[in-house]
Structure 1
Amino acid sequence: MKKITLSILLLLLSTVLTFAQQPVVINGTVDKKTYPKVYLYKVLNGRLSEIATSTPDSSSLFAFKFTPKYKGLYAIGGTEIISLRNIFKFYFKPGDELNLKLQKANYTLEGNNSAENKKLTEWFKTSYTLLDKAVYWTTISSYVDFFPEIEEMYAKLPAYKSSAKTGNAEFDKLFSKIVAFDFTYLAIGYLYTPRSTHPSQEEMSNYYTQFKADDYLTADLLKLPYGDRLLNYLVYKKIDISTKPSIQQQVEAIPVDVVKGQYALSKLTSAVSFSEYEEMFKTFKPYFILEDQKERAQAMAVKLVNTKEGTPALNFSFPDVNNRKVSLSDLKGKVVLIDVWATWCGPCKAEEPHWEKLVKNYKGKDVAFVGISVDQNKKAWDKYTSEKNLNGIQLYAGPGNDLSKAYQINGIPRYLLIDKKGNLITPDSPRPADPKLKSLIDTWLSR
């Protein structure tokens, strides 16, 4: 009897393992102009992560065969993983088959498909008018036409949420949430996209005036391909972003710790120096709960380690106004303030009077002022420096130079401060107009 029982258990276990290893097979045709390559994505904590790519053949056919690591949402389409244009979500479990045609801003199912993906496609078609206006913008739209459609759809939402009867209870429950979150993503996201006209508070329709962000600031966001983006919209809706709340205030507005961690991670990427990263990391570390969150935070630290105070600064070498190369090593023994700028940059020009004043204040002292231009047009830089007779050492680096790459300089003006030994003080110092810069220079000058 024991042998029979053991045999049955082994047979059941073998059946379960075989089912779990059954691959998902995807076959489709594409508009090759829109999809020169087709991408398969998994949902990784509110964002998309690439699994595989398929290059359509001469007949515009593509295919995937993969073993799903989880039962849930995946996505197929192009490369716009932030806006999700031309990327469409599907539900996969082991053994599923998907047959479809990918078109620009749309798709259709063809042949054999699962009940779950038929249901998702039905919802996709039902909500397409809102999707088109909120995401694709092929129709000129403003709140005047959009809000009435939101109210009409919102009234029907309870019926849509409970309409899934696929025989997969797990999916049917998930579908209800997908409908609710999809609708919220389109309705709230619409408010934060460029439009010809925007509604006043008094012009908001009932859905918006009664909306409660906390209903959606939940861990369910992590299961959705647009979760991270919707998270930002929800925080902006909950606290008036125009009042410029601190990052900590924004994070604290979120009621769920793991979601706080997800939001804090998105803000951590704005750190341009290791010290700035370190300060933010210490504040938000308790909210980095998932392994993925911890790994992403660590990856950011590694990326910024060269910006840590005391690390050797990049020994750049760029030509001056006389086409003579000047290197950072030539300035050893001096505190060096670097201004990364361009002739077309308005905020850069606004700092010039304060820069000139600093240069005069430190005349005869061990401080070097170095302007480094990232202008595309060197002639424009030559003309500007000649006409303005700018003080300090003026160098031309051009766009995409080594200094900009080393310190992730994606916006200007940007100021870097380097000590007398050629080590980094900060890759993002206060601007000349800020009195804190003078204090910082004085501190390091006295060392």
Structure 2
Amino acid sequence: MKKLLILAALLLTKVSFAQMSEIRGVIKNGTQKDIYLYSIVDGKPELLAGTKLGEDGSFGFLFTPIDEGFFTVGYEKIEKGSLFPVYMKKGDKAEIAIDKRRMMFVGKQTPENTVLSAWTNLTQELKIKSIYFMEPPLSTYEDFFPELTRVAALTDDFRKTIKTKNENFNRLMTAITYFDLDLYAMNHIRTPRKAFAKKEEYVPYYNNITVENKLKNDDVLSYLFGEKLLHLYAGYVGDTRNTNIVDKLKLFSTDRQKGVYILFRQTPFVQSYPQYENLIKNFGQYFTSPSLKQRVDDLGARLYITTAGGNAVDFSFPDQNGKVVSLSDFKGKVVVMDIWATWCAPCKAEIPHLKKLEQELHGKDVVFVSISTDEQKDKDKWLKMVKDMNLTGVQLYAGGFANKVTDFYKIATIPRFIVIDREGKLINPNSPRPSDPKLKALLEKELAKAK
């Protein structure tokens, strides 16, 4: 696992300056105030450091990479693909410019980043058409397939240019030329579009994706989208109706690949400590690498305290009128927490059921607390929905998906309903939804208990 040592200027005397690496750059035409540096661990970004942008959009990271490899610079919302890879060794310097979805290397670069720059330039438009599927201009197969075919035709010749003196880089960079094209191709057909191609309309590149023993080593886990690639590949190969995870594991070559895939697939559904124990019982043999073992241990520790009977985390969020409300304000009442957002269709589908449940339990010692995870830019949408839909109960605004509640309960998907007893103990950290009669039954049982 790559580690980062960020040093203040006063500490530079303790480390040879020649061993420190530097990434500097500028954000053009952006509204961001912060920029982040990530390492790549188990095929996904791991946050190393963040910094404020200068008034001109400039930024810099000075660090000592323990191991050479791909790092990535980008925005906080990594799910949108706004991350840009840079290859760094001790003592390397790199300069980049980011303009919304695009990145370019600036000035003289190391031999590795000279090659990476050429690959970025060749594939950048393809990446944008594949990854940014929710933002205009929206891409469909009609413009994506020609671009995929164009880039694929040039890739063999590009691979011949990967001839630096760094054999580690040459191997990884060559692998990434395959990973990128496969990921962009599969991601495009697996994400929402205004128009979809029929399978018989797929361009020839799609015939080359399925290869026996395709992922023969763990280089894929040094790739920025490695975890996502494993998931897409498992869904693309063979009978797509077969969701049996044991069958899917046969597609991967190493225990570490299997461990990464299992955690990607199963973690959202492991919401209690007994479920965690079942995960370890069935798949524990795949979590042996230090990084995977740490992830699994952290999951178990978190579930141990967030399983029924554990203490609910306190919070303080403003309501629609700006009044700050805390969970502790409701001690003595049973609390039903609804974690939701205005953009979440399943969340909105639960609102009529939630209103009905509130009416049925009116006058009881129960309070319904809805916590919006809308981002700041959508706060007005939340306020409007609260008013227009006459949302009842306690309506709170958490200021974004990353907040104390979602962090504590490791919430990855919404809606999420959490039931808490009169003493602030968890009754069910992942309870049935209001549309399920089991929630009302759970509440009536709890309310029947003597105070």
Query: Which of 64, 68, 74 is the matching residue for 2:65?
Result: 68
TM-fit CA distance, 1:163: 2.1
The residue type equivalent to 2:283 in the other structure is F
Match of 1:414 in 2: 417
Query: Which of 109, 115, 124 is the matching residue for 2:111?
Result: 115
Q: Where does the alignment leave 5 or more consecutive residues of structure 2 unmatched?
A: 1-14, 316-326, 372-381
1:221-232 map, 5 Å: 221-232=220-231
Query: Which of 194, 197, 202 is the matching residue for 1:196?
Result: 194
TM-fit CA distance, 1:374: 1.9
Quick one: structure 1 residues 424 and 168, their matched pair in 2 at CA, closer, same or farther if it must change by over 3 Å?
closer
Cα contact 1:268–1:280 (8 A) shared by 2: no
Provide the secondary structure at the position in 1 that maps to 2:288: coil
Match of 1:44 in 2: 41
What are the Cα deviations for residues 335-373 of structure 1, in whole angstroms up to 9, with x where unaligned?
Answer: x7958599984335458889999x9xxxxxxxx894625
Quick one: structure 1 residues 240 and 426, their matched pair in 2 at CA, closer, same or farther if it must change by over 3 Å?
farther
Cα contact 1:47–1:225 (8 A) shared by 2: yes
Quick one: structure 1 residues 143 and 308, their matched pair in 2 at CA, closer, same or farther if it must change by over 3 Å?
same
Match of 1:392 in 2: none
The residue type equivalent to 1:195 in the other structure is R
2:58 and 2:329 map into 1 onto residues whose CA distance is 55
1:381 and 1:128 map into 2 onto residues whose CA distance is 42
Provide the secondary structure at the position in 2 that maps to 1:374: strand
Match of 2:95 in 1: 99
Query: Which of 343, 346, 350 is the matching residue for 2:349?
Result: 346
1:262 paired with 2:260, answer: yes
Quick one: structure 1 residues 370 and 157, their matched pair in 2 at CA, closer, same or farther if it must change by over 3 Å?
same
Quick one: structure 1 residues 252 and 165, their matched pair in 2 at CA, closer, same or farther if it must change by over 3 Å?
closer
Moved more, 25-34 or 185-194: 25-34
Quick one: structure 1 residues 217 and 133, their matched pair in 2 at CA, closer, same or farther if it must change by over 3 Å?
farther
Cα contact 1:254–1:260 (8 A) shared by 2: yes
1:283 paired with 2:282, answer: yes
Cα contact 2:122–2:151 (8 A) shared by 1: no
1:54 and 1:341 map into 2 onto residues whose CA distance is 30
The residue type equivalent to 1:202 in the other structure is E
What are the Cα deviations for residues 152-207 of structure 1, in whole angstroms up to 9, with x where unaligned?
Answer: 43233332223212232332222211211111122222122321111222222222
1:108 and 1:379 map into 2 onto residues whose CA distance is 43
1:81 and 1:379 map into 2 onto residues whose CA distance is 29
Match of 1:163 in 2: 161
2:260 and 2:440 map into 1 onto residues whose CA distance is 37
Match of 1:299 in 2: 298
Match of 1:26 in 2: 23
Structure with larger Rg: 1
Moved more, 340-349 or 252-261: 340-349
TM-fit CA distance, 1:91: 1.6
Provide the secondary structure at the position in 2 that maps to 1:52: strand
Moved more, 147-156 or 306-315: 306-315
1:147 paired with 2:145, answer: yes
Match of 1:428 in 2: 430
Quick one: structure 1 residues 101 and 145, their matched pair in 2 at CA, closer, same or farther if it must change by over 3 Å?
closer
2:198 and 2:38 map into 1 onto residues whose CA distance is 38
The residue type equivalent to 2:63 in the other structure is F
Provide the secondary structure at the position in 1 that maps to 2:19: coil
Provide the secondary structure at the position in 2 that maps to 1:215: coil
1:76 and 1:102 map into 2 onto residues whose CA distance is 9
Match of 1:363 in 2: none
The residue type equivalent to 1:347 in the other structure is E
What are the Cα deviations for residues 112-162 of structure 1, in whole angstroms up to 9, with x where unaligned?
Answer: 321111111111112233123223466543212322332343233332223
1:415 and 1:58 map into 2 onto residues whose CA distance is 42
TM-fit CA distance, 1:222: 1.0
Quick one: structure 1 residues 286 and 92, their matched pair in 2 at CA, closer, same or farther if it must change by over 3 Å?
same
Match of 1:390 in 2: none
Cα contact 1:43–1:223 (8 A) shared by 2: yes
Moved more, 25-34 or 117-126: 25-34
TM-fit CA distance, 1:311: 3.6
Cα contact 2:332–2:423 (8 A) shared by 1: no
TM-fit CA distance, 1:208: 1.5
Q: TM-score, normalised by structure 2?
A: 0.70
TM-fit CA distance, 1:261: 1.0
Provide the secondary structure at the position in 2 that maps to 1:111: coil
2:227 and 2:141 map into 1 onto residues whose CA distance is 24
1:56 and 1:439 map into 2 onto residues whose CA distance is 52
Quick one: structure 1 residues 147 and 67, their matched pair in 2 at CA, closer, same or farther if it must change by over 3 Å?
same
Match of 1:88 in 2: 84
TM-fit CA distance, 1:76: 2.5
What are the Cα deviations for residues 265-323 of structure 1, in whole angstroms up to 9, with x where unaligned?
Answer: 2231443333333333332221112211111222222323333244466899xxxxxxx
Quick one: structure 1 residues 48 and 300, their matched pair in 2 at CA, closer, same or farther if it must change by over 3 Å?
same
Cα contact 1:133–1:140 (8 A) shared by 2: yes
Provide the secondary structure at the position in 2 that maps to 1:145: helix
RMSD: 4.7
1:382-397 map, 5 Å: 396=394
Quick one: structure 1 residues 19 and 179, their matched pair in 2 at CA, closer, same or farther if it must change by over 3 Å?
farther
1:55 and 1:442 map into 2 onto residues whose CA distance is 50
TM-fit CA distance, 1:19: 9.7
1:30 and 1:442 map into 2 onto residues whose CA distance is 55
TM-fit CA distance, 1:73: 1.1
Cα contact 1:97–1:112 (8 A) shared by 2: no
1:187 paired with 2:196, answer: no
Cα contact 1:239–1:250 (8 A) shared by 2: no
Match of 1:10 in 2: none
What are the Cα deviations for residues 38-58 of structure 1, in whole angstroms up to 9, with x where unaligned?
Answer: 433222221222333444445
2:98 and 2:186 map into 1 onto residues whose CA distance is 27
Quick one: structure 1 residues 98 and 236, their matched pair in 2 at CA, closer, same or farther if it must change by over 3 Å?
same
Q: Where does the alignment leave 5 or more consecutive residues of structure 1 unmatched?
A: 1-17, 317-324, 360-367, 386-394
Cα contact 1:161–1:180 (8 A) shared by 2: no
